[in-house]
A = this chain, B = another copy of it.
Amino acid sequence: MAVAPRPGFSRQLASEFVGTTGLLIAVVGSGIAVSRAAESDAIALLIHAIVVGFALITLIAALAPWSNHFNPAVTLALWRSGRVEARRVAPLMGAQIAGALVGVLLANLMFGETWLAIGDKPRAGFGLWLGEAIATFGLVLVVLATAGRRAEVVAWVVGLFIAAAIWFTSSTSFANPAVTLGRVVTDTWSGIRAGDVPAFIAAQLAGAWGATAWVSWMGKPTSLDS
């Protein structure tokens, strides 16, 4: 989504790495904090949703001058819609996944959890997969529909969408393959069982593909506010 300035590609990779690190610190760190402090599942998930949404707004707006996807599904959708060059897709995704892993390690360390663990929290079933498909459809839809508008509009729309989708989907809206992979290596509130990851990612990619196709049919939106 970053358009100007056009920095060297190494800066884009660094931005994706740092941003996705920050995102996973927010996801896993807030998960640990709420699981310790909240005596109610609803309060825990409410706080988690607000924290993840606010963190996304912050990271997307601040890192906009360099690169701010932080999500392989978004990078793929932007490539499919002609906004990212094909040869850059794999490196960007690599930086995102590396950042996600480092973010989880830092969150584990900061809160005194085993710094590298394997989560065993089961997350599977038709309802949850439908949830991931819907969440990622919506996320990619709002990203593509706001691409080219002012950076903070993109930031707001993405952050608030995820905060809401954490509640209105059955899967609490991972909606991001790098986040999904990162959440394997923590044995805390936000973890996921490794064996449940492939189906989650498949559902996410299906949703992203659907949104890309729909926006393509609708026609590229004219930028409204820049």
Residues on A facing B (Cβ under 8 Å):
4-5, 7, 11, 14-15, 18, 22, 25-26, 29-30, 33-34, 37-47, 50-55, 57-58, 61-66, 106-107, 109-112, 127, 130-131, 134, 138, 141-142, 145-146, 150-153, 156-157, 160-161, 163-164, 167-170, 214, 217-219, 221-222, 224-225
Contacts and interface: CB of A to CB of B under 8 A. Distances in A.
Contact of A38 (B42, B112, B150): B42
Nearest to A55: B164
A146 B224 CA distance: 15
Given A25-B168, A39-B40, A39-B42, A127 B109 contact: yes
Contacts of A151: 224-225
B112 A127 contact: yes
Contacts of A161: 54-55, 58
Interface-centre pick from A14, A18, A63, A168 (highest chain B CB count, 10 A): A168
Nearest to A48: B167
Contacts of A109: 127, 130
A37 B42 contact: yes
Contacts of A39: 40, 42
A58 B142 contact: yes
Nearest to A133: B110
Contact of A61 (B18, B55, B146): B146
A58 B221 contact: no
A31 to B, nearest CB: 9
A152 B47 contact: no
Interface-centre pick from A4, A47, A65 (highest chain B CB count, 10 A): A65
Contact of A44 (B4, B42, B160): B42
Contacts of A14: 217-218
Contacts of A52: 164
Interface-centre pick from A14, A41, A107, A157 (highest chain B CB count, 10 A): A157
Given A47-B167, A134-B25, A222 B33 contact: no
